[in-house]
Amino acid sequence: MAKEYETVIGLEVHVELATKTKIFCGCSTAFGGSPNSHTCPVCTGMPGSLPVLNKQVVEYAAAVGLATNCTITQNCKFDRKNYFYPDNPQNYQISQLYLPICRNGHVDIELEDGTTKQIRIHEIHMEEDAGKLVHDEWDDVSYVDYNRSGVPLIEIVSEPDMRSAEEVIAYLDKLRLIIQYLGASDCKLQEGSMRADVNLSVREAGSEAFGTRTETKNLNSFSAIARAIEAEKNRQIDLIESGEAVVQETRRWDDNKEYSYAMRSKEDAQDYRYFPDPDLVPVHISDAWLEEIRSRQPEFKTEKMARYKEEFGIPDYDIGILTDSKKLADLFEATTAICSQPKKVSNWLMGETMRILKEKEMEPEDITFSPENLAKLIGLVEAGTINGSVAKEIFEKIFDEDINPEQYVEEHGLKQVNDEGALRATIEEVIAANPQSVEDYRNGKEKAIGFLVGQTMKAMKGKANPGMVNQILKELL
């Protein structure tokens, strides 16, 4: 009988913080600058330059720690991790080894079978990102851009508490949501503002001892993570079954080939010779400062869900989706505050907004339209000024360009025709022009009326009041 194996997974999650400047200098962290335009002597490791800590980094890191039930290290400091690599101009990365800012936390994850599980967080530390290497396709050279060098990161290290891809994804999703609610990062896996390295080992079911683990890098989406976990689990089981040993190593996942390969080890790279950074003085987070950070913590998903149920009376399903994104939740609340129609707002966000996001492969965080213009659109429909199909067309404009729908309706003559005389005249023409459909309807083919409604709408360029068209048609037939 085949042996049963258990997969043991711990994660190292790097999150790029949403500060305006780098962790130790006043260079911008903005994306899209030309190579090396956001650099200075500090973030390129020039001799004699002195790093000065960005206060906001400490506040974001502590806020994430508080939200994940960590103990905050009120006296913490920075260490140097020494290694040579062209993306690292100082030849060391400033990080935290001995006294990381947060320790011993946990988050609860919800699983598909309805149970919850606690995943422990070993520590969260602050560190700086490295530069970016681009490899030439033809020549034997790489190009280095240090714009990312010195961008603040937090690394969240979990305990090896996860047992499946489902748990890993639930954990990452939980972290993403917490951090987005804090505004500490946009947490986009695809764009690299959230990166997860998977430490995985397998052991025989029931065994207490851990197997030898590998670390898998380069995972850019939840689905890539799930595939990489499955592949690495199987690879290790195959090795064990054939009597070979799993080697402790770092592997790089290639999602196109659905295969991972061992990374060439940086020569003796494991010996980082950490030591306290003599250029940086210790950080003391006083009780008062910590309290100040705690008092600014936002309402998180769980509390928000309870409040929405109480305050807005919208379905649980809607609440679940709206609160799954800080952006959607904020937009929902702001729009509802203007138009006082929570269910209508929710319908626009859950229906058309989600549809367009999916179509354009965007995330809720990418939404740029304003609550004012969505509220105006809802107002126009409620007042009967425009009908539903026109509203959907206008919404696409709002989504793309945040246009003012009132102005747009005025300028493009899209007002709904509610004038009974005009409607009646058009419908009479439609009936006269389509005797077959009229005949079918009278013979009991209810569906034929749909065609006649469509023809009327077409004749009136989509602006007819559909309720009135139906009513008049039925009356005339």
Partner 1 sequence: MANVISDETIEYVGILAKLELSDEEKEAAKKDMASMLDHIDKLNELDTTGVEPMSHVFPVENVMREDVVTNGDGSEATLANAPERKEDAFVVPKTVD
Q: Which positions lie near partner 1, rule CB under 8 A?
A: 19-21, 25-28, 33-41, 44, 52-58, 77, 82, 84-86, 133-136, 139-146, 252, 263-264, 266-268, 271, 273, 276, 278, 280-284
Measured from the CB atom, the residue of 54 and 325 that comes closer to partner 1 is: 54
Residue closer to partner 1 by CB (options 134, 337) is 134
Tokens of 420: 């009974």
Decide: residue 218, CB within 10 A, 0-12 exposed, 13-18 middle, 19+ buried. middle
Nearest distance in Å: CB 19, partner 1: 5
Minimum CB–partner distance for residue 326 and partner 1 (Å): 20
In terms of CB distance, is 289 or 300 closer to partner 1? 289
Q: How far is the CB of 396 from partner 1 (least distance, A)?
A: 36
Please identify, using beta-carbon distances, which residue of 266 and 474 lies nearer to partner 1.
266
Tokens of 231: 């592949």
Give the number of C-alpha atoms closer than 13 A to the C-alpha of residue 35, restricted to the C-beta side.
Answer: 7
Q: Are 394 and 386 in contact (CB under 8 A)?
A: yes
Gap between the Cα atoms of 219 and 244, Å rounded: 26
Compare residues 79 and 161 and give the one whose CB is closer to partner 1: 79
C-beta closer to partner 1: residue 145 or 155:
145
CB of 50 to partner 1, least distance (A): 9
Nearer to partner 1, 33 or 466 (CB): 33
Closest separation between CB of residue 123 and partner 1, Å? Answer: 18
| Angle between helix 165-182 and 222-241 (nearest 10) | 150
Among 199, 197, 196, 200, which Cα is nearest to 236's? 200
Q: How far is the CB of 30 from partner 1 (least distance, A)?
A: 9
**Cα separation, 347 vs 336, whole angstroms:** 12
Neighbours of 213 (CB within 10 A): 20
**Phi, psi for residue 383 in degrees, rounded to 5:** -80, -5
Nearer to partner 1, 50 or 337 (CB): 50
Identity of residue 285: I
Q: Kindly state the smallest distance separating residue 196's Cβ from partner 1, in Å.
A: 17
Q: Single out the residue of 248, 253, 211 nearest to residue 232, CA to CA.
A: 253
Buried b (16+ CB within 10 A) or exposed e, 147-163: bbbbbbbbbbbbbbbbe
3-state secondary structure (DSSP) of residue 85? coil
Q: Is 14 exposed, middle or buried, given 0-12, 13-18 or 19+ CB atoms closer than 10 A?
A: middle
Closest distance to partner 1 from the beta carbon of 25 (Å): 7
